[in-house]
Amino acid sequence: MRTAALGTILALFAMAQDTTEKQELRFKLQKGEKLSVEIQQKMALKLEQIPEEYQEMFGEELFRLDFTGVLELEVRDVAEGGAASLEGKFRKMKAKGHAMINEIDYEYDADKAQPDRIPDEDPGTPYGMDPTQALEMLATQTLNLKVDPFGKLDLEGASEGSGEMASLLLSLNGAMGTLPKESVGVGDKWKSTETITLPALAQFKIGLRSENTVERFTDDSTAVIRSKLSVGTIGDETDSPDGGLFKTKMTGEGSGTANFSVKAGRVRSAESALKVKITATIGNPQDGSDSEFKGTLEIDRKHRIEE
């Protein structure tokens, strides 16, 4: 009995050693491999302070988007260094919400006939492309993606509107950003940065910073990664549509979780929640006065990758 008990203890100790060894986290996509990415994302930008001269133009909720989609991907090629070229199309997409005065109500199913849509005479807003049009472009075109071994995703050949929408919705790593360059073990940390642009509100460019920690490795060599998120403003000022000067200041925080399979070489699932406080100032070039807006942006997103 003692021998058996001692054997069990030694086996458990060996397993513990295996799971605490440092692991290299890298995407290892194979040519011909097919992936299905399920995406859920909710966003809302609510204004708490609206200057009197803009109150008839803007409501309290400036932007809202509830999005779900299924993106089918196929790996077309893998370079010697591990960077993969993928081709993909959305099989399903559903979105509801609004951006300023533009309502968003769009649904796409590749297995069903799509209704004929009459393009808007003016398909944009003062701040960018109508999100519904950008969504339709994203849903109906073939996407060409590049993914490096660290999970950095680049969209090639997309139009400006659909490209902004894709950069907002598509991510293989979630909010943690790129994978670490060095091998990591339990408790190890690394940092990453990303830029988020809101469709139809092109002046809002958010610098998303993540501090990532390996919480544990599961029995099947999946790294459970926790992310502490913070945000900052990208750029100091830009031209506003009415000819004035548009300035933003952003602060905020959030959290995220990602499950990375070392064996499969990819993130299996990820989710995050982010809250951003925004102060936006529009300068009047005629009299030099400023109009100040204040609001809160919330972004919740999840995705899962199935083979």
Burial 43-77 (b: 16+ CB within 10 A, else e): bbbebeebeeeeeeeeeeebbbbebbbbbebebee
Q: How far is CA 119 from the centre of its chain?
A: 28
Q: Please tell me the predicted confidence (pLDDT) of residue 53.
A: 80
| Structural domain spans, the chain | 31-306
Global confidence as pTM: 0.82
pLDDT single digits (tens) 105-157: 999 999 887 665 544 444 444 445 577 888 888 888 899 999 999 999 888 76
| Predicted local confidence at residue 165, as pLDDT | 67
**pLDDT per position as a tens digit, 260-289:** 999 999 999 999 999 999 888 887 766 767
**31-306 maps to CATH 2.30.230:** yes
Reported in sequence order, the residue ranges of 218-289 that DSSP labels E, i.e. its strands, are 222-233, 237-239, 245-261, 266-283
What's the half-sphere exposure (Cβ side, CA atoms, 13 Å) at 244?
Answer: 16
Q: What is the pLDDT of residue 18?
A: 45
Q: What is the pLDDT of residue 245?
A: 59
Instruction: Give me the helices (H) in 93-159, please.
Output: 131-140
Q: What is the pLDDT of residues 46-94, one digit of tens each?
A: 999 988 887 877 778 888 999 999 999 999 999 999 999 999 999 999 9
> 3-class DSSP state for residue 204?
strand
Residue 4 is given by DSSP the state H
- Give the number of other CB atoms < 10 A from CB of residue 127: 19
